[in-house]
Amino acid sequence: MYSGELTPAVNAKVFAAPVGVLSAPVKTAFGYYIFTIDKIIAAKTQTLAQASAAIRTQISQTQVSAAENALQSQVQKKWQPRTSCRSGYVVSDCAGQATGSTGASGA
């Protein structure tokens, strides 16, 4: 668990609690919490060499996602005006329909 993953009230109590001691109840908007800290694991910092593969993968995934979104946008921009839908089968991809809306009106 990392600092900031919990509600502020619980977060403050968890990271100030001693190991092996049952906490007092902590009230939050979601109810009451009690907890025991079993052990504390020191944070570790990776070197750039250790993190490089993960960084490359993340950058690659971001680029692929951006390319897919751009392609989808281009295809929709080109083909939506050319797509006619029969009355009763109108969807957001029909010519003259706002993107993201659906309806049963004729086009």
Q: Where do the domains of the chain lie?
A: 1-43, 45-101
What are the Cα distances from residue 48, in Å, to 42, 58, 59, 63?
Answer: 19, 14, 15, 21
Residue 106's pLDDT is 44
- The pTM of this model reads 0.46
Residue 71's pLDDT is 97
Residue 18's pLDDT is 93
Residue 99's pLDDT is 56
Are the CB atoms for 19 and 38 separated by under 8 Å? yes
Q: What is the pLDDT along the chain (107 residues), one digit of tens a residue?
A: 666 678 888 888 998 999 999 999 999 888 999 999 999 988 889 999 999 999 999 999 999 999 999 999 999 999 988 888 888 888 888 887 765 544 444 43
Phi and psi (nearest 5°) for 10? Answer: -70, -40
Residue 107's pLDDT is 39
The amino acid at 40: I
Per the document, the length of the chain is 107
Q: What is the chain's Cα-based Rg?
A: 26
Residue 50's pLDDT is 92
Q: Give residues with Cβ within 8 angstroms of 9, minimum separation 6.
A: 26, 27, 28
Residue with tokens 């907890």, as numbered in its chain:
35
Residue 102's pLDDT is 47
Are the CB atoms for 77 and 85 separated by under 8 Å? no
